[in-house]
Structure 1
Amino acid sequence: MTVAAGSYFDGQSAARHKVEVRIENDATLVLTGATLPQPQHWPLDRLRALADQPGVDGLTVTLFSEEGDESPREPARLTLRDGEMNARIRRLCPDLHRRDVSRGTWGRVIRYATLATAAVLLMLFVILPRMADTLADLIPVEKEIAFGKSITLQIERALGATDLGDLHCEGPEGQAALDKMLTRLTADQTLEYDLDVTVFDHPMLNAFAAPGGQVIIMRGLLDQASGPDTVAAVLAHEIGHVERRDPTRHALRTVGSAGLLSMVLGDFSGGTIAALLGEQLLRASYTREAEADADGFALDMLNAADIDSSGMAEFFEKLEKLEGGLPEVAAYFATHPASAARAQRARDNAARNDNATPALSPAEWQALKNICG
């Protein structure tokens, strides 16, 4: 019978007891010592090694207990430095290094995780959107404009620009045609913002509004549009989003969501949040209500300018046919989901407008298409 010397700590006092340790029937560790009130019997199947071990050959163990807190271990511990005894214990105790948790712990973990997830979702989808809606109405216009300019800078960088303005298309004849289209759309309109409309030299079929009255049209939209009326319709739609402050609401929601997620998942730098904000705005997905309101705003603006809304219908119908066929089309669908109902609404509107004339002359339309050179 192997007998080894060890050190026993009862966990109730600082006393260190010198004990002799032996194994009975390959099932029980028996501890005896002059200072122990009675022998201790530790079942080997309940033996657990502690994380802090005394050197390479040493072994410190305790007992698994169903009672107690989240770490179900007895307070007493035993330290052995006998290599033969320790090897035998390791051989007879397959659960020696098992990490135990108290009964019901996983249920509590799942319950707390579920509550935490529900709280985060409540913040993301209920509280933050309502706060963003309120803040969007409170931000001064000049602050909103500066906010929008910083976002468009991030979008330019996301699209490959090194410096602000690298993607701006400024062909003089094309710019004159764009200005003419904007002037015609906004004539006699009472708008809250001084609109700043820019064409980016990028093949993506997209157009979007940024906070503070800024509207960006991608060259890909000019390349894919069937005529100036289509571009006028898209521009009017984005102006509708501007007037509703939809981009500002969306940006504030994104900032709030990024800040909340940074606390949950780990800190983001300010630059990372800004880049994320630009990417989210570029692919902003507004609610069906916001899209319907922007459509209605665009139709009213087109009617007031005597521009045929058939271009809007044709654009929606073309997107329906192209969806999935061209990678860049997906970008526009991410922000402006086309539907047969929206196209039909535009056609019905066009049928009621007998005075419509093209938004631009053929020469002006060609100049606009060539604005990026």
Structure 2
Amino acid sequence: MTGAPTSPVVFADFVAGDRAVLTRVAVRLQTEGVELSLPDEQMLIWPWADVRAEPDQADTETLVISRSGDRLSRLYLRDKTLQSQLRARAPRLGKRDRVITFPKLMAWAGGAVVSVAAIIFVLVPMMAAQLAVMLPPEGEKALGDTTFEQIRMALDETGLVGTPICDAPAGTAAMQAMYDKLNPASDLPYDVQIHILDHDMVNAFALPGGRVVFFRGLIEQAENAEEIAAVLAHEIGHVVNRDPTRDALRSAGSLGVLGLLFGDFAGGTIALFLANQLINASYSQSAEAAADVYAHELLDKAGVSPAALGTMFERLLAEHGDAEGIVAHFMSHPQMGKRIAAAQDAVVEGRSYGAVLEPEAWRSLQTVCQNGAAVQPDTNLPDKKAWPDGD
């Protein structure tokens, strides 16, 4: 029961909050707080300590008040006398409620971080693995073709024609002869296309759709054709297992999630980021181990020592150290020592291994980039806007 009124009745507009409808109510100030008499004879009391003024109102002639804990209800007071009395009686009129406490805010933020991490590191990889199997080969090829041209342009300092493709006939014939010697055709989901880019980076990687890319720097670092054959067999292993497509879908999915959160992850930014990811391709430990095992078996069946997969890594590690000077494609793979040991263990005792190329063919492969011709982009490739670029 309220005490004696301390002000005369004044009419004001009231919004209950459940719907945007103004209701005319009778208002008077009581000892306990602001009394509102609604048309349905319902009586509300807003205690003085709970009365809050809503700031930044366009109508400066009207005092808009709300009740702490009920942020949707509004009372619009236009009577100047009542406004003055209310300002004098409400001790916390100008205070702002902390709607969300700091611990609660931190808990929500932590939950959001965990949710995003679960999406990026669990859900997206699972979906990428499923989609990599379901994606038609034509789609993978289109993705790989477009990404290949993006990589060429990204590595070209002029940004005009793209990094040249080495195409000396004798050298490309030697690479084809090496591929034919390995003979992986029965395992492949699509044909393999091998390209050598005229760049000093020590690297090789596979793209979606069966493209395998070598850099001139890797061929120059090799001591023999068997080391290049071992790297080729490893990259073919990635193609067989569709690792590039899976990684491209995972990267694109992760970027999509981050783009929704932070923006600025669309169009060219995604293309350049994913092209860089492919150049420095680093798949999961299980994917790398599977590609190594496939390479060991393919080399052995071709009469090439599986140890060749480890000798190049071993020499580069000794020459350049654990991380200095070696492209991330090699150094980012974990447990390099175990990979080298596994290649040596894959050698079948007592079996005779031979050369993968004749000496003349190996010399031709080493000089494949010395003809000076730059192959222009293939105009028959799909429009670069048709597929996102990815690793």
Secondary structure in 1 aligned to 2:346? helix
Specify the alignment match of 1:332 in structure 2.
330
Q: Which of 98, 101, 104 is the aligned partner of 1:100? A: 98
Secondary structure in 1 aligned to 2:199? coil
Alpha-carbon separation, structure 2, partners of 1:353 and 1:94: 91
2:68 matches 1:65: yes
Specify the alignment match of 1:369 in structure 2.
366
Once the two structures are TM-superposed, the CA of residue 139 in structure 1 deviates from its matched residue by 2.6
Secondary structure in 1 aligned to 2:347? helix
Specify the alignment match of 2:125 in structure 1.
129
1:323·1:330 contact (CA, 8 Å) conserved in 2?
A: no
Once the two structures are TM-superposed, the CA of residue 202 in structure 1 deviates from its matched residue by 2.1
Once the two structures are TM-superposed, the CA of residue 268 in structure 1 deviates from its matched residue by 4.2
Secondary structure in 2 aligned to 1:300? helix
Alpha-carbon separation, structure 1, partners of 2:24 and 2:77: 12
Paired residues for 1:40-55 under 5 Å = 50-53=54-57
CA shift in 2, pair 1:10/1:132, >3 Å: closer
Alpha-carbon separation, structure 1, partners of 2:95 and 2:116: 36
Secondary structure in 1 aligned to 2:132? helix
Task: String of CA shifts for 1:66-90, please: whole Å, max 9, x gaps.
Answer: 5x2xx4x873466799xxx9xxx9x
Specify the alignment match of 2:272 in structure 1.
275
1:42·1:63 contact (CA, 8 Å) conserved in 2?
A: no
Percent identical residues: 35
Once the two structures are TM-superposed, the CA of residue 41 in structure 1 deviates from its matched residue by 11
User: What amino acid is aligned across from residue 68 of structure 2 in structure 1?
Assistant: S
2:298 matches 1:298: no
Instruction: Point out where structure 2 has 5 or more consecutive residues left out of the alignment.
Output: 1-10, 17-21, 35-44, 371-391
Secondary structure in 2 aligned to 1:190? helix
Once the two structures are TM-superposed, the CA of residue 148 in structure 1 deviates from its matched residue by 1.3
CA shift in 2, pair 1:270/1:63, >3 Å: closer
CA shift in 2, pair 1:107/1:228, >3 Å: same
Secondary structure in 1 aligned to 2:206? strand
CA shift in 2, pair 1:101/1:18, >3 Å: closer
RMSD between superposed Cα atoms in Å: 4.5
Alpha-carbon separation, structure 2, partners of 1:279 and 1:79: 64
User: What amino acid is aligned across from residue 330 of structure 2 in structure 1?
Assistant: Y
Secondary structure in 1 aligned to 2:234? helix
Alpha-carbon separation, structure 2, partners of 1:106 and 1:95: 25
CA shift in 2, pair 1:147/1:110, >3 Å: same
2:153·2:162 contact (CA, 8 Å) conserved in 1?
A: no
2:144 matches 1:140: no
Alpha-carbon separation, structure 2, partners of 1:204 and 1:338: 22
CA shift in 2, pair 1:11/1:184, >3 Å: closer
CA shift in 2, pair 1:108/1:330, >3 Å: closer
CA shift in 2, pair 1:263/1:63, >3 Å: closer
Paired residues for 1:207-356 under 5 Å = 207-266=204-263, 268-321=265-318, 322-326=321-325, 328-334=326-332, 336-337=333-334, 339-350=336-347, 352=349, 354-356=351-353
CA shift in 2, pair 1:59/1:360, >3 Å: farther
TM-score after normalising by structure 1: 0.73
TM-score after normalising by structure 2: 0.70
Alpha-carbon separation, structure 2, partners of 1:282 and 1:79: 69
User: What amino acid is aligned across from residue 193 of structure 2 in structure 1?
Assistant: D
Specify the alignment match of 1:25 in structure 2.
none
Specify the alignment match of 2:176 in structure 1.
179
User: What amino acid is aligned across from residue 249 of structure 2 in structure 1?
Assistant: L
Specify the alignment match of 1:157 in structure 2.
153
Instruction: Point out where structure 1 has 5 or more consecutive residues left out of the alignment.
Output: 1-6, 20-28, 31-39
User: What amino acid is aligned across from residue 125 of structure 2 in structure 1?
Assistant: P
User: What amino acid is aligned across from residue 368 of structure 1 in structure 2?
Assistant: L
Once the two structures are TM-superposed, the CA of residue 142 in structure 1 deviates from its matched residue by 3.0
2:71 matches 1:75: no
Once the two structures are TM-superposed, the CA of residue 233 in structure 1 deviates from its matched residue by 0.7
2:124·2:250 contact (CA, 8 Å) conserved in 1?
A: yes
Once the two structures are TM-superposed, the CA of residue 196 in structure 1 deviates from its matched residue by 0.7
Secondary structure in 2 aligned to 1:341? helix
CA shift in 2, pair 1:340/1:267, >3 Å: closer
Q: How many residues align?
A: 348
Higher RCO by CA contacts (8 Å cutoff, separation 6 or greater): 2
Task: String of CA shifts for 1:114-171, please: whole Å, max 9, x gaps.
Answer: 1x44443333333332332222222332332222111212222232373666331122
